[in-house]
Amino acid sequence: MTEPRWLSAQERECWLALMAVSMQLPSLLDSELHRQARITLFDYHVLAMLSETEDHLLPMSELAGRTNASLSRLSHVVKKLEGRGWVERSQSPVDARVTVAHLCDAGMEMLAGLAPEHVNSVRELIFDGLTDDDVEDLARIGRKLVSRLDPEHWIFR
């Protein structure tokens, strides 16, 4: 058995900071979105990914990729969003074997109302504490990390 490659002091500090951000940030954003609209950050992310597409429509499998979710988790959330009248599922007009999710007008309206405060929270929690160089570095590092975790990730297409 080979000896593990232990983290250096700087790597450990970086790892612990990354873990703290990855654990605390979703919780803080979840709290704000729940207070405003009784939705989770994941719910918001699903709606946002649909809002950014032409016709506000995506195949469920592609939406799962864009939200980093299993189809099972996504299906559960989309069902909840359907119940609120924000999303609807149907067969793809191109391939009847494919189920698509569509952001309804009510969902787009709700999202448009939430977006300014959500973006403000993201700005306050992350970007206001960084320089332009920090943001550039973080984007570069984020792309590197995502490409190692998922080389086929949708952001690289």
Is 90 exceeded by the pLDDT of residue 33?
yes
Task: Check whether 17 has a pLDDT greater than 90.
Answer: yes
| Residue 153, pLDDT score | 84
What is d(CA 126, CA 139) in angstroms, rounded to the nearest whole number?
12
Would you state the structure tokens that stand for residue 134, as one six-digit string? 């920090």
Q: Taking 90 as the threshold, does the pLDDT of residue 83 lie above it?
A: yes
Q: Which of 54, 112, 49, 106 is nearest to 83 (CA)?
A: 106
Q: Tell which CATH classification among 1.10.1200.10, 2.30.40.10, 1.10.10.10, 3.90.190.20 matches the domain 39-125.
A: 1.10.10.10
CA distances from 78 to 39, 70, 143 (A): 12, 12, 28
What confidence score (pLDDT) does residue 157 get? 67
pLDDT of residue 94: 86
42: exposed, middle or buried (C-beta count within 10 Å: 0-12, 13-18, 19+)? middle
- Enumerate the domain spans of the chain: 39-125, 130-157
pTM score of the predicted model = 0.90
